[in-house]
């Protein structure tokens, strides 16, 4: 069971920002526009009650699946039910499992690309990136672990981040060091 403080924080962080999208969804799929506010509140109550037991992994998919089901159930309970309305509602939202699967596959592919980009980095740079970004060590902790200076850790992070970003955007992912200031001074103008 989720405590109230955590549940409220989750609701305002994940669900409340989707209010305008939810309102548009209700108005697009419900004949009587004046019911939209009441329907939205009913949906919020259902979300809040369900999330009290366990927070959903995908708040957006959970919200719109709940909205779709609530509109269908409300239409079925009405005295006159339009079969077209129920059919439109059932077809209006893609299966949440398919959405989650697509996101998982995309995330896995991105993770593979990040790993491939890390593998292209020189060993010291890769070690620094892993210690700082994956293991979450501070620059000082990483420096102590690798027996190098904090400034070296910071330089390796800068080089590694640039190379990784380059690789993720389709580049070679190689570290390109800018010429040092002293080397630039030696070159003839």
What is the share, in percent, of the chain residues with pLDDT greater than 70? Answer: 79
Mean pLDDT of the region 73-96: 62
Residue 21 has pLDDT above 60, yes or no: yes
User: How much is the pLDDT for 151?
Assistant: 94
Residue 186 has pLDDT above 60, yes or no: no
Q: With respect to residue 186, please indicate whether it lies within any of the assigned structural domains.
A: no
User: How much is the pLDDT for 181?
Assistant: 46
Q: With respect to residue 187, please indicate whether it lies within any of the assigned structural domains.
A: no
Please identify, among 47, 67, 93, the residue that sits at the C-terminal boundary of a domain: 93
Residue of 48, 52, 58, 49 lying closest to 12 (CA atoms) = 48
Residue 188 has pLDDT above 70, yes or no: no
Burial class (CB in 10 A: 0-12, 13-18, 19+), 26: buried
Mean pLDDT of the region 168-178: 74
Looking at the structure, do residues 112 and 174 belong to the same domain, yes or no?
Answer: yes
Rg (CA), the chain: 26
Q: Could you list the residue range(s) of the whole structural domain that residue 15 is in?
A: 4-93
3-state secondary structure of 50: helix
Give 189's pLDDT tier (boundaries 50, 70, 90): very low
Residue 161 has pLDDT above 70, yes or no: yes
Q: With respect to residue 119, please indicate whether it lies within any of the assigned structural domains.
A: yes
Please identify, among 76, 93, 110, the residue that sits at the C-terminal boundary of a domain: 93
* One-character DSSP codes across 118-186: HHHS-HHHHHHHIIIIIS---HHHHHHHHT--HHHHHHHHHHHHHHHHHHHTTS-----PPPPHHHHHH
CA–CA dist 166, 172 (Å, integer): 7
The total number of structural domains that make up the chain: 2
What is the share, in percent, of the chain residues with pLDDT greater than 90? Answer: 17
Which is higher by pLDDT, 69 or 88?
A: 69
pLDDT, tens digit (0-9, with 9 covering 90-100), for 128-140: 988 988 888 889 9
pLDDT, tens digit (0-9, with 9 covering 90-100), for 85-118: 555 655 655 555 556 666 777 778 888 888 888 8
User: How much is the pLDDT for 172?
Assistant: 76
HSE toward the beta carbon, residue 174, CA cutoff 13 A = 4
Residue of 108, 127, 106, 121 lying closest to 164 (CA atoms) = 121
């Amino acid at each position: 069971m989720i405590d109230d403080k955590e549940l409220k924080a989750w609701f305002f962080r994940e669900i409340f920002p989707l209010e305008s999208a939810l309102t548009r969804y209700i108005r697009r799929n419900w004949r009587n526009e004046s019911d939209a506010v009441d329907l939205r509140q009913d949906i919020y109550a259902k979300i809040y009650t369900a999330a009290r037991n366990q927070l959903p992994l995908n708040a957006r998919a959970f919200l719109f699946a709940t909205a779709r089901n609530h509109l269908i159930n409300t239409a079925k309970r009405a005295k006159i039910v339009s079969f077209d309305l129920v059919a439109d509602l059932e077809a209006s939202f893609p299966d949440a499992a398919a959405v989650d699967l697509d996101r998982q596959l995309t995330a896995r592919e991105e993770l593979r690309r990040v790993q491939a980009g890390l593998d292209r980095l020189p060993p010291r740079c890769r070690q620094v990136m892993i210690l700082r970004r994956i293991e979450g060590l501070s620059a000082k902790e990483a420096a102590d672990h690798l027996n190098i200076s904090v400034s070296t850790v910071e330089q390796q992070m800068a080089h590694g981040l640039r190379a990784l970003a380059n690789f993720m955007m389709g580049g070679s992912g190689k570290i390109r060091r800018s010429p040092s200031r002293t080397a630039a001074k030696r070159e003839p103008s």
